[in-house]
């Protein structure tokens, strides 16, 4: 199976690393059309912004701080983010505003630049943009190398 997947260009990590806790997620907009909403969130505070929803809380970080937090989470030896009360620790969201993209080592399994390039090429083939305020499908992306439940993230 591995040989087949490598034959179509998928690469596997050289080391076996088991991550049992969610890692921070990147919230990114197309660098060619940076989202004003992401920029407003990044500008809202000079420090991290925390939002609580139901049983979860999310901490939003600017890219410069976020990459440090991502590295700390990867190096962490904690097996779980569960507390004694059964609630989870805050989920970290790294805001990439103003056309910023995460560094390649921040998303080693997914090249966000190639994603947005392919999206733009497809969009140019399929439609002409008449309203520059319009955000098309896929122009804002949330990427996490390891997440808990995708459905929970979408619901909240």
pLDDT bucket at 15, cuts 50 / 70 / 90:
low
| Residue numbers of the domain that contains 55 | 20-155
69 assigned to some structural domain:
yes
Number of domains in the chain: 1
Q: What is the mean pLDDT of the chain?
A: 77
H or E element in which residue 76 lies: none
Question: Is 86 within a domain?
Answer: yes
User: Is the pTM value of this prediction over 0.85?
Assistant: no
pLDDT tens digits for range 101-119: 999 989 988 999 999 999 8
Percent of the chain with pLDDT over 90: 12
Distance CA 145, CA 26 (A): 9
Residue 72 lies in a domain: yes
List, for residues 44-98, the tens digit of each pLDDT value.
Answer: 767 778 888 877 788 899 998 888 888 888 887 444 444 334 446 788 899 998 8
Put the strands of the sheet holding 49-53 in their side by side order. 49-53, 56-62, 91-96, 25-29, 140-144
Domain for residue 13, yes or no? no
Higher pLDDT, 119 or 125: 119
Q: Is residue 51 part of a domain?
A: yes
2 belongs to a structural domain? no
d(CA 72, CA 106): 12
pLDDT-derived band at 124, boundaries 50, 70, 90: confident
Domain presence at residue 8: no
């Amino acid at each position: 199976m591995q040989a087949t997947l490598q034959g179509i260009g998928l690469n596997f990590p050289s080391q076996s690393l088991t991550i049992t806790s969610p890692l921070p997620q990147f919230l990114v907009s197309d660098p060619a059309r940076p989202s004003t909403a992401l920029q407003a969130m990044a500008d809202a505070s000079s420090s991290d912004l925390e939002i609580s929803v139901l049983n979860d809380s999310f901490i939003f970080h600017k890219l410069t701080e976020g990459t440090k937090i991502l590295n700390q989470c990867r190096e962490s030896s904690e097996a779980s983010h569960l507390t004694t009360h059964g609630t989870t620790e805050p989920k970290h969201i790294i805001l990439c505003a103003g056309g910023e993209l995460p560094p390649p080592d921040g998303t080693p399994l997914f090249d966000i630049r190639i994603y947005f390039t392919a999206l733009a090429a497809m969009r140019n083939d399929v439609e002409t943009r008449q309203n520059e305020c319009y955000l098309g499908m896929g122009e804002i992306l949330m990427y996490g190398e390891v997440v808990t439940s995708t459905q929970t993230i979408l619901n909240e």
